[in-house]
Structures are given as structure tokens and as C-alpha cells.
């Protein structure tokens, strides 16, 4: 796979605190990279740096094959931990918000309708956020991030507050979207089982200051289904990633 994004020796300092130190890796076009680590290790900060919402204190972020080495407006989508929907706007208007902000009001209505169908919200186009479940709100947030047709999607533990059934369903929806749209995805999570199910590669972070403790290439079918969760390969990779995370946190791993 062709590299789309490169991080080289990234560090980030806040007053009195080094949040990230020496982060170096690449993400290929169409690859899903899971960033796994304990709370406070700088995973969310790293997403903000990639999104351009903040600047690194040291190191460089390089975009390969994009417009003059940097993403165009709308080329990076961001899904936060909370859906942050406009409470007075219906599903269609919430999804279309980035298009209006980028002055793309002329975008075809069919594109929004296709997104609504892709995230499983057909029939809820006119619904207001207060009438939606947590999982449905997150589906709206995901569709909103995809409305500008980004090349890169950044997800900051978007499914962490959802029940297991809803979380698994959204995992599958995300994998389908990645395949159909050839998205490069950085996915922050605290869940070992989620990271192994979703990712082509899992990067394990140490506690603050966040450093890369270990990286795993996940061996899995190209088109994953729930059946993968019950295979020996999945179980063994979850165990290996879990052991690496425990070592990174400085605790003794119990098999």
C-alpha cells in the first residue's frame, strides 16, 4: 500500500507536561491504524495534530500525494467521542453542516441520501437528535464526517460509550465504509478486542509521555465479519496485543 500520511519524531508539550514523545509511523492509503493505549497517553492529542487543530512541538507531519503536501479543506474528517450534533437540526441538516461551512451548498442531495443509507439511518432523515439513540447519534456524526468525501478519517474513541451489540454493528459499518471509499483511518480506542477486529495495524502506546511501545500487523480476512471474532487467530492476536499493552503500562501480564 502507498503511504498517505507520515509522522516523523512527533513530540507535543503542554505547560509542564510532555504529552507525546518521538512518535514515528506511516499510514497507507486505505489502511486502518488503531492507536491503543491507556487514558492520558496522548492518543487524542495526536489526532488533533494530524487534523491540524494543533501544532507539534517537534517533528513533522507529511502528507504524501495530496495537494502540495497538505490536505485540502474537507479532506480530513473527524469523529469525536461525543456526537456534538446541533439539537435543533434534523439528521439531514446535521450531516450537511460541513458542506455549508465549506460553501458546498450545491452538493447533490443524492450524496447525502447515500450517506444516510450507508450508515443505516434510512427513514430517519427528518429526526431530531433528541429522538435518536446513542448509536444512531454516532451514525449521524460518522456520516457528517464523511459528507466532504475525505481521504482520511480520524476517530477519537467514537464507540466507547455504546453497548456491545451497537458497538459491534458500528464496527462492521465502519469497515464497510472504509472498503467502499478507500479511506485511510486513524482510530483511537482503549479496547484491545476492538482494535484487533478493526485494524490492519495496531500501535500500542506507553503511558505519558506517549511513545510507541509496539506495533502489530493484524492477520485477518480482507472482508471481516463477526465470525472473525471467534477464530483462533483473532484470540491469539488479542492476547499478544493485550500483553504488549500490559508491558507498556509497566505491569506484569497474566496469561
pLDDT-derived band of residue 107, with 50, 70 and 90 as boundaries? low
Q: Is the pLDDT of residue 249 over 60?
A: yes
Distance CA 208, CA 38 (A): 9
- Region 149-173: mean pLDDT is 91
Q: How confident is the model at residue 200 (pLDDT cuts 50, 70, 90)?
A: very high
pLDDT band at 1 (very low <50, low <70, confident <90, very high): low
Q: Does residue 117 have a pLDDT over 50? A: yes
Q: Count Cβ atoms within 10 A of the Cβ of residue 49 and give its class: 0-12 exposed, 13-18 middle, 19 or more buried.
A: buried
pLDDT at res. 68: 62
Rounded Cα–Cα distance for residues 72 and 149 (Å): 11
Query: Band of the pLDDT at 108, cuts 50, 70, 90?
Result: low
Among candidates 194, 214, 218, 196, which has minimal Cα distance to 204?
214
**pLDDT value for 71:** 81
pLDDT tens, position by position, 62-75: 998 666 667 888 89
Cα–Cα distance measured from residue 222 to residue 236, given in angstroms and rounded to the nearest whole number: 18
CATH of region 1-71+152-255, choose from 3.40.50.300, 3.40.1790.10, 3.40.50.720, 3.40.50.2000: 3.40.50.300
Domain residues of the chain, as ranges? 1-71+152-255, 83-150
* Mean local confidence (pLDDT), 167-185: 92
Q: Over range 6-23, report the average pLDDT.
A: 95
The rounded distance, in Å, linking the Cα atoms of 52 and 36 is: 21
pLDDT given at position 67 = 65
Contact by Cβ (8 Å): 112, 95: yes
Query: For a pLDDT cut of 70, what percent of the chain falls above it?
Result: 93
Kindly indicate the confidence band of residue 253, based on its pLDDT and cuts at 50, 70 and 90.
Answer: very low
What's residue 64's pLDDT?
Answer: 83
The distance from CA 199 to its chain's CA centroid, rounded to whole angstroms, is 10
The pTM is what?
0.92
Q: Is the pLDDT of residue 254 over 50?
A: no
pLDDT at 58: 96
Q: What is the mean pLDDT of the chain?
A: 90
Q: What is the mean pLDDT of residues 241-250?
A: 92
Q: Are strands 212-217 and 76-79 parallel, antiparallel or unpaired?
A: unpaired
SS (H, E, C) 25-82: EEEECCCEEEEECCCCCCHHHHHHHHHCCCCCCEEEEEECCCHHHCCCCCCEEEECCC
Amino acid at each position: 500500500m502507498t503511504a498517505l500520511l507520515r509522522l516523523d519524531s512527533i513530540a507535543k508539550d503542554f505547560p509542564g507536561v510532555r504529552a507525546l514523545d518521538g512518535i514515528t509511523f506511516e499510514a497507507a492509503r486505505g489502511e486502518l491504524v488503531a492507536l491503543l493505549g491507556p487514558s492520558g497517553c496522548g492518543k487524542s492529542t495526536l489526532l488533533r495534530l494530524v487534523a491540524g487543530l494543533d501544532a507539534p512541538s517537534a517533528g513533522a507531519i507529511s502528507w504524501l500525494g495530496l495537494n502540495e503536501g497538505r490536505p485540502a479543506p474537507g479532506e480530513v474528517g473527524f469523529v469525536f467521542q461525543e456526537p456534538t450534533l446541533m439539537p435543533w437540526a434534523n439528521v439531514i441538516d446535521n450531516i450537511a453542516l460541513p458542506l455549508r461551512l465549506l460553501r458546498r451548498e450545491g452538493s447533490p442531495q443524492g450524496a447525502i441520501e447515500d450517506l444516510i443509507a450507508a450508515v443505516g439511518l434510512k427513514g430517519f432523515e427528518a429526526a431530531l437528535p433528541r429522538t435518536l439513540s446513542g448509536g444512531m447519534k454516532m451514525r449521524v456524526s460518522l456520516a457528517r464526517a464523511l459528507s466532504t468525501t475525505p481521504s482520511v478519517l480520524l476517530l477519537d474513541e467514537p464507540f466507547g460509550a455504546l453497548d456491545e451489540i451497537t458497538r459491534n454493528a458500528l464496527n462492521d459499518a465502519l469497515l464497510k465504509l472504509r472498503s467502499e471509499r478507500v479511506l485511510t483511518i486513524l482510530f483511537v480506542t482503549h479496547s484491545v478486542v476492538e482494535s484487533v477486529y478493526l485494524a490492519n495495524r495496531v500501535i500500542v502506546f506507553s503511558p505519558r509521555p506517549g511513545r510507541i511501545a509496539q506495533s502489530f500487523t493484524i492477520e485477518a480476512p480482507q472482508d471481516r465479519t463477526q465470525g472473525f471474532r471467534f477464530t483462533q487467530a483473532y484470540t491469539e492476536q488479542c492476547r499478544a496485543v493485550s500483553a504488549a499493552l500490559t508491558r507498556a503500562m509497566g505491569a506484569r501480564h497474566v496469561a
